[in-house]
Amino acid sequence: MKQTRNHYWHSLGTLVSCLVRPASRFIHLMRAKKHKRLRSCSGLATRCCVSVLITLVGGLVVVGCDSDSNPLAPYTGERELILQRVTSSARPHMQWVGGRVGAIGVNRGAKAALDTTLVWIMAASDNEISSAVVVDDRLDIDLVAQVGGTPLDSLEDGAEYTFWLAESEVYNAGLSADRRNDFTFVDTTFTLSYQLRGRVGGDGSFISDISIVRDQTLTSDEYHIMWSPAATGVRRLAIRQGSSGGFTDLVWDLIAEDENVAGISPPVTIGTAPAGVIVGAQWPDGGFDASTYTLWMVNESWNGSFSIRASGYAFFQIFSSNFE
């Protein structure tokens, strides 16, 4: 604190010196010319200097007092609400900056509203919700029901949703457009996509359906493989870069320790080897490229053929459009 005061008084002394020196030179010149004129001019110069110094000293004292009380005073003005991220998942994570809010909601469709399109909401008595939330089963079912909405604790793949944040003033006014501005409300609308698009094929009596579902959070990004019947295990599961099954260009490869036992069961998280398997090819750190991939799996009766009609063989061709 003492060092801060010394800094300001040193600055003031320097400023006074700079102002007085020109005034002294001016007075010296005027003495050489006319003594009577000097009196009026020097008096005027002195009064001007004193007036300027009083103004500057007052400003420095005010600034000095503020800095002494809090030299690094934080910004206290309004901050714009910015919805930074909504993750790709059945239960998306929402992250924002700009301060705490009073309510967070999700509507089906392209409009933020407290009406029948509301599917998820979290509200507080004041601006108490901060920085990040997850759209999950921690919703206020009663508030959704009050406006005639259908509550959801997970969102549908391929559906359009509007995600929004509102300060209490806006929320209590029913999300009125008259109360909204960049500092009190923000929303975003898009089609949620977390299930990879592709084509299922192979022996339908072995595996009837295969899906890959993305589960992205603020700190992780995982893909889960599921198939049906869920009770059906597989002996080998692999992903290769290409449009059909094969042993070349494998990017991930799991083999049951006992080749005569279908010991791999769903769900399987890509990049994470279940217990009791041998990893033939490690999943790359960079994950999927913008390319077509084929996930294939076989059971103990498979004869080694990658024909789409081969017994004991099933595949899921992953479209490149998922990664564009």
Q: Which CATH number fits the domain that encloses residue 282?
A: 2.60.40
Residue 23 CB burial class (10 angstroms; 0-12, 13-18, ≥19): middle
pTM over 0.85: no
The answer to whether the beta carbons of residues 311 and 303 sit under 8 Å apart is: yes
Q: Which of 30, 48, 69 is the last residue of a domain?
A: 69
Do both 187 and 205 map to the same domain? no
Q: Would you state the pLDDT for residue 259? A: 78
- In sequence order, the 6+-apart residues with CB closer than 8 A to the CB of 218 are 85, 87, 93, 95, 132
Do both 233 and 119 map to the same domain? no
Total domain count, the chain: 3
Q: Which of 69, 92, 110 is the last residue of a domain?
A: 69
Below-50 pLDDT ranges, the chain: 1-12, 14-42, 44-46, 48-76
Q: Would you state the pLDDT for residue 260? A: 81
CA distance 207 to 318: 16
Asked if the structure places residue 75 within a domain, the reply is no
**Full domain range(s) for residue 8:** 2-69
Do both 147 and 106 map to the same domain? yes
Q: Which of 18, 36, 69 is the last residue of a domain?
A: 69
Q: Which residues does residue 104 pair with via DSSP β-bridges, in sequence order?
A: 122, 165
